[in-house]
Structure 1
Amino acid sequence: MNTPDLVTFSEIARRVSARKLVLRPITRQGVRHIADTDPSWPVPREQWLKIGNAWAMPWEPIEKFFRERTTRGRGPAAKPEGQDE
């Protein structure tokens, strides 16, 4: 029997950043925001496992989600006032 590779939000952030599955490094809070707001998040909240004070979920569907995700990043950075293109 294979035990699933369970990851926390901090570990998800570390892995997707290290594997360059996001355009720029992402934080635990950024991953949690995606999990809370993206209807395509692959692991429903009722399947999250509480381990100590952290939530854990299987890595495989999350890795697939980030590899296939087309909406990435928070958009372009704002230009400082007074600077035109």
Structure 2
Amino acid sequence: MKLGPPIQKILQKRYPPLSIVEKTFGNHDLAFKTDEEGFPILLFLGKKQADGRIKGDRFARRLVKQDGQIIKDHWDHKGKAT
């Protein structure tokens, strides 16, 4: 599964540092964890269950910075999230 441009647009924004943000996009629920600078680094995409967990897919972001500039930014599909 690939992340489409509309979802990537949501993930390009900055959010509160070291937090978990939950959003809804179309029929999908999103939950992502942010790093100390507020960039999303771990994403769960799918359907939210009654217990609050998201059942679907898990993605991790590879974000490499040098001198304050982002030189590599890539999302890897890590498999199913249960």
The answer to which structure has the higher strand fraction is 2
Q: TM-score, normalised by structure 1?
A: 0.23
Q: TM-score, normalised by structure 2?
A: 0.24
The answer to which structure has the higher helix fraction is 1
